[in-house]
């Protein structure tokens, strides 16, 4: 929790710094003006963005009117828009605005940075740019970082070297990179945070759409239709936060993963929270965790993903200090081998709390739900594991399979198909139907947004968990209802641990009263 507080504190400090900067001047750019002015106002705007970038110094803003802007030397594939440090570049203006607040939706008047002429290896470059560098309100498209070797294989849309900028309100689409970061590549040794906020990554290809090797906060972004090696990859030592994002329809290919992380030091920390991750595919269908450090996945919907070795979440490395999955819904994920939903092959400690794993499948493996193939500690609390299908018929090991019971503890959870030959250690394990409202939704297909994993009145999961195990970052359930609600019509079978209310099992909290 201390890491979360520290990280969020840096985030607010970063935003505050960028908002409060005293800009020295504003330089205006409008490519539709026939005769270029000095850039001092809209009437005297420059008509080339590269000229404004050459004039700008620390603290300046550049305002760019709608239009299509191409890098300055179309004959040179290394030609890019080179962003100066500590300058704010804003697009999406009609022309005539007097403040940033006058700019409405920047994509109503799109300012497009297009690298197709040439084409440019990277449409935008940043070198040694810090957190006071802002790029906001542009479409960045058709970069082509496919050189034979070196840096020109990285960052088709944006390449940031030793840079931690703020990237906001961007559409980054149809870019390619042979090696790293088809949409955005950030690298360096800085301890400050890069911020990627309110951006759309769409149809970038051949390498992850966002690849970052610096501490990064990714917030309220959409990643869709990645082609080849996935949506997002984090590789470095530090902290990374991905919150309120959606990842839809991305492919990692036969060897890749839509969201993959390889953290390089033991004090690294990654959180993925309040995200929707659905209809992705790869070797692992959604998320792959490796390297070192600690990982937390919280309050996410992970739906309808498919993989060759794992349908949704794969925990690979035994050097990972801890992995926490909390308040999360897994439905409709599928795999050939490994596990339909969660495959645990590493991590010193894995905790699964208030999570629903239901209607996932594996076509050539017993474990349609959770597969534990490690001798390290795995603890499952307040969770529901139900209606997952491995090879054969639904049974306990189709839902929860483990190579060994020695380090597996399950408390106050529902596990389908409990038998006498495989009973994990723990208390309050039951095998009764959790009574979901409509697990496969109106389309009768698990793994879509209409799935309803809420509990019906009379469910044995109601008021049956352990309240003390609910993490401090969880106040709402997976459907944004209060995480604690008392059903006065259901006898309490869980424990309130002195907190007054007893949490339900699973990711959804029953909000009514059983008759």
Domain borders along the chain are 1-24+60-250, 268-276+287-515
Give residues with Cβ within 8 angstroms of 418, minimum separation 6: 396, 429, 430, 431
Contact 182, 204 (CB under 8 A): yes
SS3 (DSSP) at 344: strand
- Cα maximum dimension of the chain: 84
Statement: residue 260 has pLDDT above 90: yes
φ/ψ region of 117 (left if φ > 0, alpha if ψ in -120 to 50, else beta) reads: beta
On the CB side of 287, CA atoms within 13 Å amount to: 28
Contact 305, 285 (CB under 8 A): yes
Q: Calculate the alpha carbon distances from 493 to 9, 327, 459, 467, 510 in Å.
A: 39, 20, 12, 12, 15
> Which of 275-289, 385-399, 459-473 bottoms out in mean pLDDT, i.e. has the lowest?
385-399
pLDDT class of 5 with cuts at 50, 70, 90 = very low
In sign, the C-alpha dihedral spanning 407, 314, 422, 470 is positive
The pLDDT assigned to 420 comes to 65
The pLDDT assigned to 436 comes to 99
| Rounded Cα gap, residues 116 and 95, in angstroms | 26
Count the neighbouring beta carbons within 10 Å of the beta carbon of residue 26. 18
Q: Calculate the alpha carbon distances from 349 to 8, 43, 204, 323, 382 in Å.
A: 25, 63, 35, 6, 17
Average pLDDT over residues 268-285: 97
Count the neighbouring beta carbons within 10 Å of the beta carbon of residue 479. 14
CA nearest 93: which of 116, 112, 114, 80? Answer: 112
CA 150 to chain centre: 28
Statement: residue 2 has pLDDT above 50: no
| Edge-to-edge strands, sheet with 334-335 | 281-284, 306-310, 334-335, 361-362
Contact 439, 331 (CB under 8 A): yes
Statement: residue 16 has pLDDT above 50: no
| Rounded Cα gap, residues 307 and 229, in angstroms | 13
The pLDDT assigned to 456 comes to 98
CA nearest 129: which of 243, 222, 53, 223? Answer: 53
Residue 49 tokens, joined: 């963005």
Q: What is the pTM of this model?
A: 0.94
Length of the chain: 515
Mean pLDDT of the chain: 93
Statement: residue 70 has pLDDT above 70: yes
Statement: residue 7 has pLDDT above 80: no
SS3 string of 119-174? CCCCCEEEECCCCCCEEEEEEEECCEECCCCHHHHECCCEEEECCCCEEEEEEEEC
> Which of 182-186, 196-200, 415-419 bottoms out in mean pLDDT, i.e. has the lowest?
415-419
């Amino acid at each position: 929790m201390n890491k979360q507080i520290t990280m969020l504190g840096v985030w607010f400090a970063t935003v505050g710094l960028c908002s409060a900067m005293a800009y020295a001047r504003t330089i205006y750019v409008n490519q539709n003006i026939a005769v270029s002015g000095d850039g001092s106002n809209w009437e005297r705007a420059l008509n080339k963005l590269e000229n404004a970038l050459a004039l700008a110094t620390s603290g300046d803003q550049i305002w760019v009117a709608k239009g299509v802007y191409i890098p300055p030397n179309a004959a040179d594939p290394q030609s890019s828009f080179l962003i100066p440090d500590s300058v704010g570049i804003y697009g999406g203006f009609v022309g005539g605005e007097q403040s940033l607040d006058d700019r409405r939706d920047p994509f109503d008047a799109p300012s497009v940075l297009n690298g197709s002429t040439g084409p440019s290896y990277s449409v935008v470059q940043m070198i040694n740019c810090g957190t006071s560098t802002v790029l906001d309100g542009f479409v960045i498209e058709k970069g082509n970082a496919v050189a034979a070797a070196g840096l020109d294989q990285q960052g088709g849309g944006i390449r940031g070297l030793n840079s931690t900028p703020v990237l906001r309100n961007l559409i980054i689409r149809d870019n390619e990179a042979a090696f790293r970061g088809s949409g955005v590549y950030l690298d360096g040794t800085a301890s400050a945070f890069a911020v990627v906020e309110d951006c759309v990554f769409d149809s970038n290809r051949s390498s992850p759409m966002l690849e970052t090797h610096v501490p990064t906060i990714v917030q309220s972004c959409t990643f869709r239709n990645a082609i080849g090696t996935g949506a997002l990859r984090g590789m470095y030592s530090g902290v990374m936060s991905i919150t309120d994002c959606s990842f839809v329809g991305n492919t990692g290919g036969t060897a890749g993963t839509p969201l993959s992380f390889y953290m390089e030091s033991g004090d690294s920390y990654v959180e993925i929270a309040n995200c929707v991750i659905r209809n992705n595919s790869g070797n692992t269908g959604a998320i792959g965790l490796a390297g070192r450090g600690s990982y937390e996945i919280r309050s996410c919907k992970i739906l309808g993903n498919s993989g060759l070795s794992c349908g949704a979440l794969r925990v690979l490395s035994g050097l990972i200090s801890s992995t926490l999955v909390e308040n999360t819904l897994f439905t409709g994920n599928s795999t050939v081998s490994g596990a339909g939903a969660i495959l645990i092959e590493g991590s010193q400690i894995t905790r699964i709390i208030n999570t629903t794993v239901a209607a996932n499948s594996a076509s050539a493996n017993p474990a349609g739900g959770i597969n534990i193939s490690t001798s390290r500690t795995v603890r499952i609390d307040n969770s529901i594991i139900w209606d997952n299908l491995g090879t054969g018929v639904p049974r306990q090991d189709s839902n929860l399979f483990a190579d060994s019971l020695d380090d597996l503890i399950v408390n106050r959870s529902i596990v389908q198909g409990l038998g006498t030959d495989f009973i994990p250690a723990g208390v309050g394990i039951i095998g009764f139907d959790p009574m979901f409202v409509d697990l496969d939704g109106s389309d009768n297909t698990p793994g879509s947004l209409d799935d309803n994993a809420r509990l019906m009145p009379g469910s044995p999961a109601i008021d049956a968990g352990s309240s003390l195990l609910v993490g401090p970052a969880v106040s709402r359930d997976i459907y944004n209802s209060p995480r604690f609600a008392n059903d006065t019509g259901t006898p309490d079978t869980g424990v309130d641990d002195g907190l007054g209310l007893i949490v339900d099992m699973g990711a959804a909290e029953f909000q009514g009263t059983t008759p």
